[in-house]
Chain A
Amino acid sequence: NAGVTQTPKFRVLKTGQSMTLLCAQDMNHEYMYWYRQDPGMGLRLIHYSVGEGTTAKGEVPDGYNVSRLKKQNFLLGLESAAPSQTSVYFCASILTGGTEAFFGQGTRLTVV
């Protein structure tokens, strides 16, 4: 999707390792989100941000931290990865008012 870029696209971690996923958007959107999607399940909100310097917890925040130091970037951190965090992670951004909404292509993370 145009304008929302996630890095990396794939990653394998060992239990206990840490990593940071980056979501970058160049559309000047205020709202950004991190979701996880597990096989056969829908999207579960991890954390979200309604503007630079703000973050809020979603449905499944435990084991994750986020930061939004710059408006265009929303970082998702795993301090000590666990096999239960094996999932596909999606980032989304929305323009205030909901008139534009885009997702990144996803990051497939495997924790062994």
Chain B
Amino acid sequence: GDSVTQMEGPVTLSEEAFLTINCTYTATGYPSLFWYVQYPGEGLQLLLKATKADDKGSNKGFEATYRKETTSFHLEKGSVQVSDSAVYFCALVETSYGKLTFGQGTILTVHP
């Protein structure tokens, strides 16, 4: 079945550091890929998405490129802020049958 694997956390960075959170997936078809962010005590917000190979999703300084050849969708940000501290989830939906599958989440803490 479909699966999503995220790098193990937690990740702790200083402000203005470069961020990478790795995400790889297994899917039988041609999934759409997502990154969600969850701030403490809140629900999940869609951060960015990509619906086909080589698409780049971007939002709020975050980027991720849909790499079919490596089955990856790594999240990057050039300069993190304290306000980026949250849990980040990678997810896919295999659009032919609609199941939405999440990775285990990565806790990011950014220190001043």
Q: Hey, which bits of chain A sit against chain B, CB under 8 A?
A: 1, 30-31, 33, 35, 41-43, 45, 48, 50, 56, 58, 90, 92, 94, 96-99, 101-106
Contacts and interface: CB of A to CB of B under 8 A. Distances in A.
Contact of B43 (A31, A42, A90, A101): A90
B93 A94 contact: yes
25 contacts: A1-B43, A1-B45, A1-B46, A31-B98, A33-B100, A41-B104, A42-B89, A42-B105, A43-B89, A45-B101, A45-B102, A48-B98, A50-B97, A58-B99, A92-B44, A94-B93, A96-B95, A97-B95, A98-B49, A98-B51, A99-B49, A101-B46, A103-B36, A103-B44, A105-B43
A45 to B, nearest CB: 7
Contacts of B42: 105
A41 B89 CA distance: 11
Given A50-B98, A98-B93, 8 more contacts: A31-B100, A45-B101, A45-B102, A48-B98, A96-B95, A98-B32, A99-B32, A99-B49
